[in-house]
Structure 1
Amino acid sequence: MKHRITTDRTIWATLASAAVVAAATGCGPTTTDAGAKDTKATSPSPAKPKDAFDSLTGSQISSKALAALKSASSMRVSGTVPADDKTNQSMQVNVAMDTQGSCRGSLTLPGTVSLELLRKGKGAFYIKGNEKFWRAMLTELAKDGEGLTRKQANAAVDMLKSRWVKADEKSAKDLTATNFCDMDKLQDLGGHSDVTRGADVVVAGRPVAVIYDREDWRVTTVHVAKTGKPYPVQITTTDSSSAAPDTLVKFSEFNKPVDTTLPPADQIIDANNLG
């Protein structure tokens, strides 16, 4: 099979470029002063705990975020990203991955295509698509001169839509982008210039430092945890020049095992037996 869903490449490029910002150099200190002393107080107030990022610049916070990201053995990436450059649809992404090559997750275009992906270590890939995914695949194969008759296509979809297809890396790449299982790619990214530290905020009850990058009409904002390890925990990207929806990606479940339980044997079809 030659076809690969084009949205997969777009999603991964978005995630990768956003992660670059988390690893980027920045500029501009920010103040964390709690305010003027209360001259009316009759007794000294308890000392305010030192802020984890007290007096740090954006560049220094970015270095800490990159070091934390590189130290993680696993993580989950979830959120919504533009499906492609031509529509205003968003793709939902939810993938857990580790540095050993294992992954488990899903990619969904609401109301249309959905795809599940599973891999244990450096072993085979297991791919499960819904009916619309496989029909789209067969349509593309027909364009490549490898199409089936309508009867054959319907039979193939009925066989595949409720099962997992076991594939080696080459076959998996033909079916979909396998970069979603490559955690090293997110951990090994270069820097970026012109990243600025903004005002700290609280997200879901968690204090985070804010780093943002502005490029033409596009603004990418990265939230870095101020408690525990300074992991990048949320990335948003907006582009006022485009009708495409915003990107919102969250990083979580650092260093937690990835569930690589394989599906029952009677639900698996070997791609090598598909002809």
Structure 2
Amino acid sequence: MRANRLLAVTVLSVLGVTGLTACNSGGSGDRKGDAAPAASAPAVPASPAAAESAAGGGLEKLTAAEIMEKSRAAGAKLTSAKLVATVTQEGSTVNATVAADSSGNCVGTVGLGGKGTADIRRTADKVWIKPDAEFFAAVIPNGDTPAVKKIVGKWLASSKADDIASFAEFCDLALGYQKRIGLNDDGTPDHGGTKGGTKKVDGIDAVLVTDEDDDGNVVEAAIAAEGEPYLLSAETEGKGSMKYSDFDVPVQVTAPPADQVIDLKAFGAGAKV
């Protein structure tokens, strides 16, 4: 069945070119190393000043490298986070709101810039995706077939090893970027970046670190200057943005009702869409 592949490819082809996904968690997804970490700020070894700085405070006195190191250390301890993301490329927009935890649980929605949405639920070994009719129309041209009609409005179920699991990669960004900010894809420090000014992100004071992506677009990362130094937001000029909140808030996933679920392996054996 091609529908599940189209769901994944449509979103990831837009998302992948932004550079915002380069700092995914180091899982098995083979797309994660394709793009450079656009919002990565430098992460060179910390000076003694970094160690002396109080937890969650005094970031404005540190270098960009030290700020990134502290943020990464805080992110490594996170158990969950909420991500709101918008990505634009060549006139196409993908937006997502997901909450995910370190056990693999995730709930949220992905939208195609006003052209439909898909609900997402994920556990450690299962993914459910529920696209609406408008979403299907956007990703499957001329998809008015009996097979498609059967799955519109249903939850499409699959294992995390299957193609449809790639559609939930926004879930991986919720924690993955927090844990790898300031690192290249191979885990080495990125030595670029400049400490900027300050701003508030949803009422929280933040210190700014700026850099450029491979296309020369300005990337701005906002790190919390109060409480734990989590990454609060990352914006790539002309490409997209990510905003984080609800740190360490439990994520509850409820499996959809059985009569509303279609197993893609069983359904896709003879379906053509």
Fold conserved between structures, TM > 0.5:
yes
Residue 159 of structure 1, CA deviation = 2.1
Root-mean-square deviation (Å): 2.9
- Please say which structure displays the higher CA radius of gyration: 1
Residue 73 of structure 1, CA deviation = 0.9
TM-score by length of 1: 0.73
Q: Which residue of 2 aligns with 1:125?
A: 127
Q: In 1, are the aligned partners of 2:78 and 2:247 still within 8 Å (CA)?
A: yes
Cα deviations by residue, 1:86-133 (Å, 9 ceiling, x for unpaired): x2232111111111111112110133242222112x221111111243
Q: Which residue of 2 aligns with 1:210?
A: 208
The sequence identity of aligned pairs, in percent, is 25
Correspondence 1:198 to 2:196: yes
Q: Give the Cα–Cα distance (whole angstroms) in 1 for the partners of residues 118 and 166 of structure 2.
A: 9
Q: In 2, are the aligned partners of 1:131 and 1:157 still within 8 Å (CA)?
A: no
Range 181-190 or range 225-234, more displaced:
181-190
Q: Which residue of 1 aligns with 2:224?
A: 225
Q: In 1, are the aligned partners of 2:208 and 2:220 still within 8 Å (CA)?
A: yes
The counterpart of 2:254, out of the listed 244, 261, 269, is: 261
Pairs within 5 Å for 1:92-107: 92-107=95-110
Provide the secondary structure at the position in 1 that maps to 2:228. coil
- The code of the aligned residue for 1:24 comes to P
Q: In 2, are the aligned partners of 1:118 and 1:127 still within 8 Å (CA)?
A: yes
Q: In 1, are the aligned partners of 2:40 and 2:211 still within 8 Å (CA)?
A: no
Gap regions ≥5 residues in structure 1: 27-49, 143-147, 239-244
Cα deviations by residue, 1:139-181 (Å, 9 ceiling, x for unpaired): 5xx9xxxxx9x6xx1x33332111101112243x257534233
Q: In 2, are the aligned partners of 1:18 and 1:220 still within 8 Å (CA)?
A: no
Q: Which residue of 1 aligns with 2:172?
A: 182
Pairs within 5 Å for 1:1-275: 1-2=1-2, 3=5, 4-11=8-15, 14-17=19-22, 20=37, 21-22=39-40, 24-25=42-43, 52-82=58-88, 84=89, 87-120=90-123, 122-135=124-137, 139=141, 153=145, 155-171=146-162, 173-174=163-164, 176-182=166-172, 185-186=176-177, 187-188=179-180, 189-190=183-184, 191-215=189-213, 217-238=216-237, 245-274=238-267, 275=269
Q: Aligned residue pairs: how many?
A: 231
Cα deviations by residue, 1:16-47 (Å, 9 ceiling, x for unpaired): 34784456337xxxxxxxxxxxxxxxxxxxxx
Q: Deviation above 6 Å: which 4+ runs of structure 1?
A: none
TM-score by length of 2: 0.73
Residue 193 of structure 1, CA deviation = 2.2
Q: Give the Cα–Cα distance (whole angstroms) in 1 for the partners of residues 91 and 241 of structure 2.
A: 14
Cα deviations by residue, 1:235-256 (Å, 9 ceiling, x for unpaired): 1111xxxxxx441210111111
